[in-house]
Amino acid sequence: MSKTLVKPQVLPKGALIMTLLSLATTIVSFVIMMGVTDISPTKQTTQIVIAANAVSILVLVYLSYATLRKLFLFKSKEKHRDLHTNLAIIFALIASIPSIIVACFSLVVLDSRLNSWINPENNQIIDMSIKAAQSYTEDNAQSLLTTTLSMAIDLDQRRMLYSLDRGAFANWLTYDADRNNLLGASLVKSNGEVVVSAQLVNDHTLPPPPLEALRSAAGDRPVLIPPGSTSLVGAIIKTQALPDLYLYTIRAVDSSALNNMRVMTDNNAEYQSLASNRRNTQIAYALLYIELTLLLLLTAVWTGIAVANRVVRPIRLLIGAASDVSTGNFDVSVPVRASDGDIGSLSHTFNNMVGQLKTQHHDLISAKDEIDERRRFTEAVLSGVTAGVISVNSHGDIAGLNRPAEQMLSIDGGEAIGKNLIDILPEIGAVFAAARENGRSSSRKQVSITRNGLARSFNVQITREDADTQNTSYVVTVDDITDLVAAHRSSAWADVARRIAHEIKNPLTPIQLSAERIRRRYGKVITEDREVFDQCTETIIRQVGDIGRMVDEFSEFARMPKPQLAPTDIRDVLRDASFLVEISNSQIRFQHDFADEPLVGNFDNRLLGQAFGNIIKNASEAIEAVVKAGTVEEGLILVRAASTGSSIIVEVLDNGKGLPAENRHQLLEPYVTTREKGTGLGLAIVKKIVEDHGGHLEMLDVPASFAGRGAMVRMTFPKLVEANAA
């Protein structure tokens, strides 16, 4: 299955149109600012350029932001997009950094050039040049004014000539104008009409006197007429002798000097305009450079995206497919195009590799399913056996164990797995170490393991699974043979008890009868040491009685009768057994805590009463020991019975000396006792009676809420369901 690759759009149409408009704005603004068009870069024009480029920059900033935002959104949404985005960013940096440097350098150069142009020295030179040209013009105008005043005085002296002979007056005027190097001289009226004019020969077309100048000269003050667009200067003065007539004179000025003055004036105007528009010019060029940088940035980003779409696409497809394969998806393939070149070959190889991985993965899953099926079968088999089974690797670490092993060894399988066998089970670990050293394929040994103060016997068999000594593994089989050992021991002791009872009981009766006969026959005859005689015979009779009772216990243990079961309320049995002990131990306080409902089961009243009587009697004897020692002030025996589900639980608690902390379970075996005169058969008989009734016997410590140290014997019996229901 090929994956669809999402790629960012290179250049939207709207963005292209706005970018082209910004480019056109930049070009037009640059041409105007360079002054190569008919549009002069005046202050107003520069402000328009600034406004247009500012708007263009805002458009480009928006386009840049939108493009970069789409690029990074694409990066955050698409997997394996870093290479794509980074390539576009690299293109942008390559294009924008040099353009920024060039823009900054250009602005510095522009500022430097403006500083070199616009400075006080240049301003002073231009002012001096203009003043020099103006001084030349003013000198010529002043000379013309002086000449005109002189001619006006002469004209007043020849007013009679003007009145009598205007031709002669015109000749004089021509002579006087030529003598004073004038191009023209004439008498004009206030409306500009020429009355008399000097007849001079020249190539100039003399302009008429300006009416405004004539009006200005009416105030008896001479008026100078500047050159204007020609190289002529003029002067007008009102005559005194000739009313309402004005003398109008014209003189030529050096045209090159006038042209230079005009050029200097124009240059000064341009200089002043540039000086006043300097800040706007700098801003305009700065905006142009910024706009150019943004254009390059956008172009670079779009170019980078276009290149990335073509170059990075197959790489991203490979990365995405590899990521999917790493998550376990083998149904991916990378499309291969002929234009991809070496990357296409890599994609083809990758597809082949994924196909092989898919096949191998399928084979591995099949093998794993088969192994899991075998494991489940093995676990089912192991969970069905009663023996504990532990798997151990070559390093002695536990690889697995079944539920019976956890229960009989009192260990947590989850915590034990992975730990060394010697650390978890040192007793079995020692057997394992010995079996591994001897190199035999199978070893067997009986060990004793103590858990929670209870020692139990186990038959441990260690079997090697294979012959490879480097990576061999072992199976440890553990069987709890505690009850079997106890049964064998009880059977052996029962046989011994039967033989002892048979061998001892026969001579006991003759011995006792002989001692009694001697006491009766010779009791009256013996006068000396009579007390000694009576004491000896009494001792013989008493000891024979004790031995007889012991023989009876042996016989009772050896020939334990089968219980005669009948529905019985166990509360009645407990009351009778407790009463027999209570009347002979008045110094002990007895308490009963029985359930209100009947606790009926199939019991033998006599045997069960014997068992309860032995337990309560043992409790009273344990209390007597601590009372004599002064450890306890008052003895207390609590007998309680209750029903839980389908069982009846009977507990006998006392505040006596308690049970030993270790191997207390051995007290239930024959001939094991903690009392000096005990036979060690009482609890063994009790255990046998309880088990014959389908019950279970436990030797425990009293709970913390009970007064004193003490012991607690708990017996669990099956409850008669039919009777309970009735």
Residue range 351-363, pLDDT digits in tens: 888 888 888 888 8
**Residue 567 reports pLDDT greater than 90:** yes
First-residue to last-residue Cα distance in the chain: 73
For residues 550, 553, 558, 563, the Cα torsion angle rounded to the nearest 10 degrees is 170
Region of poorest pLDDT, from 364-378, 445-459, 625-639: 445-459
pLDDT of residue 648: 94
For residue range 500-524, what is the model confidence (pLDDT) as tens digits? 665 666 677 777 777 777 777 777 7
Can you name the residues that pair with 232 across neighbouring β-strands? 252
Identify the sign of the CA torsion 236, 239, 240, 243. Answer: negative
Region of poorest pLDDT, from 65-69, 576-580, 717-721: 65-69
Q: How far apart are CA 187 and CA 214, in angstroms?
A: 12
Q: What is the largest CA-CA distance in the chain?
A: 232
- Residue 463: its H or E element: strand 454-464
Distances (CA, A) of 349 to 83, 331, 353, 489, 649: 22, 15, 6, 76, 75
Q: How far apart are CA 279 and CA 50, in angstroms?
A: 11
DSSP 333-390: B----GGGTHHHHHHHHHHHHHHHHHHHHHHHHHHHHHHHHHHHHHHHHHHHSSSEEE
Task: Provide the pLDDT confidence category of residue 3 given band limits of 50, 70 and 90.
Answer: very low
Rounded to 10 deg, the angle between the 120-157 and 255-276 helix axes is 140
Does 385-475 match 147-271 at the fold level?
A: yes
Higher pLDDT, residue 96 or 397: 397
pLDDT of residue 4: 45
For residues 287, 293, 295, 296, the Cα torsion angle rounded to the nearest 10 degrees is 160
Task: Provide the pLDDT confidence category of residue 5 given band limits of 50, 70 and 90.
Answer: very low
**Residues 246 and 186 sit within 8 Å (Cβ to Cβ):** no
Q: Does the domain made of 566-725 have the CATH classification 3.30.565.10? A: yes
For residue range 247-274, what is the model confidence (pLDDT) as tens digits? 888 887 766 666 666 666 666 556 555 5
Q: How far apart are CA 701 and CA 713, in angstroms?
A: 8
**Residues 158 and 135 sit within 8 Å (Cβ to Cβ):** no
CA 699 to chain centre: 55
pLDDT of residue 640: 93
The rounded radius of gyration (Å) of the Cα atoms in the chain is 68
Can you name the residues that pair with 651 across neighbouring β-strands? 640, 714
pLDDT of residue 67: 72
Q: How far apart are CA 30 and CA 284, in angstroms?
A: 9
Task: Provide the pLDDT confidence category of residue 158 given band limits of 50, 70 and 90.
Answer: confident
pLDDT of residue 601: 92
pLDDT of residue 597: 92
Q: Own/partner pairs for 95-104, CB < 8 Å, 24+ apart? A: 95/296, 95/297, 95/299, 95/300, 96/293, 96/296, 96/297, 96/300, 99/292, 99/293, 99/296, 99/297, 100/293, 102/289, 103/286, 103/289, 103/290, 103/292, 103/293
Of 2-6, 77-81, 84-88, 657-661, where does the model show the most confidence?
657-661
**Residue 726 reports pLDDT greater than 50:** no
**Residues 485 and 457 sit within 8 Å (Cβ to Cβ):** yes
**Residues 389 and 428 sit within 8 Å (Cβ to Cβ):** no
CA 281 to chain centre: 54
Task: Give the contacts of 326 (CB within 8 A, at least 6 positions apart).
Answer: none
Where does 595-681 show beta strands of DSSP type E? 600-603, 635-644, 647-654
Higher pLDDT, residue 74 or 530: 530
Instruction: At 428, give phi and psi (nearest 5°).
Output: -75, -30
Higher pLDDT, residue 675 or 668: 668
pLDDT of residue 19: 76
Task: Provide the pLDDT confidence category of residue 651 given band limits of 50, 70 and 90.
Answer: very high
CATH superfamily of 385-475: PAS domain (3.30.450.20)
* Token duo for residue 44: 């107003």
As a whole number, mean pLDDT of residues 575-598 equals 89
DSSP annotation of 420: B
pLDDT of residue 201: 63
* Token duo for residue 302: 């779009």
Which residue carries 């003189």 as its tokens?
251
Higher pLDDT, residue 79 or 422: 422
**Residues 585 and 627 sit within 8 Å (Cβ to Cβ):** no
Region of poorest pLDDT, from 42-51, 473-482, 642-651, 675-684: 675-684
Q: Own/partner pairs for 445-448, CB < 8 Å, 24+ apart? A: 446/481
The pTM of this model reads 0.38
**Residues 573 and 605 sit within 8 Å (Cβ to Cβ):** yes
**Residues 257 and 233 sit within 8 Å (Cβ to Cβ):** no
Of 190-194, 475-479, 497-501, 635-639, where does the model show the most confidence?
635-639
Which residue carries 């990335």 as its tokens?
308
Report the chain's mean pLDDT, rounded to a whole number. 75
pLDDT of residue 132: 60
Starting at the edge strand found earlier in the chain, the sheet holding 711-718 runs 588-594, 635-644, 647-654, 711-718, 696-701
Region of poorest pLDDT, from 278-287, 348-357, 381-390: 278-287
DSSP 208-272: PPPHHHHHHHTTSS-EEE--TTSSEEEEEEE-SSSTT-EEEEEEE--HHHHHHHHHHHHHHHHHH
Tell me if residue 555 falls in helix, strand or coil: helix
As a whole number, mean pLDDT of residues 518-532 equals 73
Task: Provide the pLDDT confidence category of residue 2 given band limits of 50, 70 and 90.
Answer: very low
As a whole number, mean pLDDT of residues 64-92 equals 66
Q: How far apart are CA 668 and CA 672, in angstroms?
A: 7
Percent of the chain's residues with pLDDT above 90: 6
pLDDT of residue 723: 42
Rounded (5°) CA angle 280-285-291: 125
pLDDT of residue 709: 78
Pairing of strands 635-644, 588-594: parallel
Percent of the chain's residues with pLDDT above 70: 69
Distances (CA, A) of 242 to 149, 161, 246: 14, 11, 8
Tell me if residue 591 falls in helix, strand or coil: strand
Q: Which of 88, 68, 79, 81 is nearest to 15 (CA)?
A: 68
pLDDT of residue 658: 80
**Residues 193 and 203 sit within 8 Å (Cβ to Cβ):** no
Of 70-79, 155-164, 199-208, 361-370, where does the model show the most confidence?
361-370
Region of poorest pLDDT, from 447-451, 496-500, 686-690: 496-500
Domain ranges in the chain are 13-117+277-311, 147-271, 385-475, 487-558, 566-725
Region of poorest pLDDT, from 312-316, 361-365, 499-503, 568-572: 499-503
- What is the third-level CATH fold of 147-271? Beta-Lactamase (3.30.450)
At 13, the amino acid letter reads K
For residue range 407-429, what is the model confidence (pLDDT) as tens digits? 777 788 778 888 888 888 888 77
**Residues 404 and 388 sit within 8 Å (Cβ to Cβ):** yes
